């Protein structure tokens, strides 16, 4: 059975200061904070992910394999420092 989810565009600031913008999928009625606090999942799937500040990633292997745009990025929740939805107004803001 397929569970309905809503697509939310987000900006994620990671502990290593890289910035990820992309789409996350939340269960209907679920907020971003509910998803982060959920003990059921330790990872967040981000689609159409655009990664900025790649030079801040400390792992050489990750830097050499990382591109600025990923179709799918699986991110450990423990790497997340901050996450916010991107509204149309905020989409044009630069970090």
| pLDDT (tens digit per residue) in 70-86 | 899 999 999 999 999 99
Q: Is residue 70 part of a domain?
A: yes
Between 24-33, 41-50, 57-66, 70-79, the lowest mean confidence (pLDDT) is in 57-66
Residue 64 — pLDDT band, cuts 50, 70, 90? very low
Domain assignment present for residue 95? The answer is no
Per-residue pLDDT at 51? 87
SS (H, E, C) 1-59: CCCCEEEEEEEEEECCCCEEEEEEEEECCCCHHHHHHCCCCCEEEEEEEEEECHHHCCC
Indicate the pTM of the whole model. Answer: 0.76
How many independent structural domains does the chain possess? 1
Residue 73, domain extent: 5-85
């Amino acid at each position: 059975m397929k569970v309905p989810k809503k697509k939310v565009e987000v900006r994620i600031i990671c502990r290593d200061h890289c910035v990820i913008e992309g789409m996350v999928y939340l269960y209907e009625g679920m907020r971003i904070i509910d998803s982060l606090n959920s003990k059921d999942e330790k990872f967040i799937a981000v689609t159409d992910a655009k990664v900025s500040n790649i030079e801040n990633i400390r792992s050489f292997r990750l830097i050499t394999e990382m591109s600025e745009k990923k179709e799918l990025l699986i991110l450990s929740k423990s790497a997340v420092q901050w996450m916010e939805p991107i509204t149309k107004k905020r989409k044009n803001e630069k970090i």
